[in-house]
Amino acid sequence: MHLTILYGKCTCPPGLPYCVCGAETKGKIITKKRYIIPIENGLKVELDIFEGFHKGKILAEVEFPDEETAVNFQPLSWFGEDVTYQEEYHNSNMSL
C-alpha cells in the first residue's frame, strides 16, 4: 500500500497545527509504503518504509485488541527499539 495526501480545500478548524482532513499539508509530506504482515494470535504488523524526507526510517506497529494482549506480547526478533512513547515518531511531529 502506498499512502499519499490528496490536495484540495482544507476543511479543518482554524488553529490546528496540521491538516487532519488530508486536503493539504502545513509541513513535510509523509510518503511511505505500508506492508501488512500477519503474525500469531490474529495480530498483524504494519510495517512502514518511509520515502522522501524520512527515507531510511522503518517503523513496525502492532495494534492490540486489549491491554492483556499488549502486556503479554513478545516483540519479534527483528523488531528494534520500542518508540511507542517517543513523540518524534508520531506522524503529527514527523510532518513538521
Range 26-38 average pLDDT: 86
The predicted model scores a pTM of 0.70
Third-level CATH fold of 27-94: Hypothetical Protein Pfu-838710-001 (2.40.320)
Q: Return the amino acid letter for 63.
A: E
- Indicate the pLDDT class of residue 35, thresholds 50, 70 and 90: very high
- Domain residue spans of the chain: 27-94
Helix, strand, coil distribution of the chain in percent, nearest 5:
20, 25, 55
Identify the band that residue 24 occupies on the pLDDT scale cut at 50, 70 and 90.
Answer: low
Say how far apart CA 2 and CA 18 lie, in whole Å: 21
pLDDT number for residue 78: 96
> Which amino acid is located at 18 in the chain?
Y
